[in-house]
Amino acid sequence: MDQTFLMIKPDGVQRGLVGEIVARFEKKGLKLVAAKFESLPEERVMEHYSEHKDKPFFPGLKSYIMSGPCFLMVWEGKNVVSITRQMIGATNPAEALPGTIRGDFALEIGMNVIHGSDSDETAKREIAIHFKKEEITSYERVDEKYLYE
Ligand code: DAT
Ligand code: MG
């Protein structure tokens, strides 16, 4: 089954949005298979955001991500990467549609509440950066027979 890496950033944690955000994915029918609460060490932030390391906004992004604990998750489900990217909304909350997480809960690009992998390949890479194999569970949700045809 498809998997993705989602992470509620320090603003989402501090603003008490963890439960609300997790509930949205749960109700969609996606399956939470790993989760942990963690302050990210610098090396892991560098690895996670390596594609952005030379961008002008990177120093600000790095200090924001390291400003407090994050809530890291692995979610599973059919087409989970594209579904969660749609539910998260545009990178800039000013452009994110109402009904999306960034559209409903954020105002500025530098405080956009949540990260989500943008492709299956990125998801594999990011899951491996943040989770050990043995931290990822495997189980059936009792409602799966009413979620999948
Ligand atoms: P996304 O998080 O939607 O995948 P991204 O990978 O392009 O977006 O960028 C990673 C994060 O970096 C993004 O969530 C917020 C920050 N960021 C991106 N572009 C930025 C910009 N122009 N100014 C400030 N922060 C930016
Ligand atoms: Mg990205």
What the block records as the tokens of 85 is 């990217």
5, 109, 118, 119, best to mutate for ligand 1 pocket (most atoms within 8 Å of CB): 109
The reply, when asked if residue 57 is annotated as ligand binding, is: yes
Task: Print burial letters for 16-51: b (CB count within 10 Å at least 16), e (below 16).
Answer: ebbeebbebbeeeebbbbbbeeeebeeeebebbeee
Task: Name the band, by pLDDT with cuts 50, 70 and 90, for residue 147.
Answer: very high
Average pLDDT over residues 58-77: 98
How far is the centre of ligand 1, averaged over its atoms, from the C-alpha of 48 (Å)? 12
Instruction: For the chain, give the mean pLDDT.
Output: 98
Domain count for the chain, please give it. 1
Per-residue pLDDT of 118-141, as tens digits, reads 999 999 999 999 999 999 999 999
143 lies in some domain: no
Residue with CA closest to ligand 1 atom 14: 91
146 C-alpha vs ligand 2 centroid, how far in Å? Answer: 32
Confirm whether 144 is domain-assigned. no
- The ipTM value here is 0.98
Taking the C-alpha atoms of residue 45 and residue 43, their distance in angstroms, rounded to an integer, is 6
**How far does the centroid of ligand 2 lie from the alpha carbon of residue 49, in Å?**
8
Enclosing domain of residue 34? 3-133
Integer Cα distance of 62 and 48 in angstroms? 10
Confirm whether 145 is domain-assigned: no
Measure the CA–CA gap between 86 and 82, rounded to whole angstroms: 6
pLDDT per position as a tens digit, 77-106: 999 999 999 999 999 999 999 999 999 999
Phi, psi for residue 78 in degrees, rounded to 5? -60, 125
Asked if the structure places residue 101 within a domain, the reply is yes
**Is residue 138 a part of any domain in this protein?**
no
Which atom number of ligand 1 is nearest to the Cα of residue 85? Answer: 3
Decide if 115 is catalytic. Answer: yes
Cβ contact 119:81 at 8 Å? yes
Q: What is the CATH number for 113?
A: 3.30.70.141
Pocket of ligand 1 (CB under 6 A): 52, 57, 61, 91, 109-110, 112, 115, 118
> Is 31 contained in some domain?
yes
Please choose, from the candidates 130, 132, 123, 137, the residue with its C-alpha nearest in 3D space to the C-alpha of residue 38. Answer: 130
- Residue 64 covered by a domain: yes
Q: Domain for residue 139, yes or no? A: no
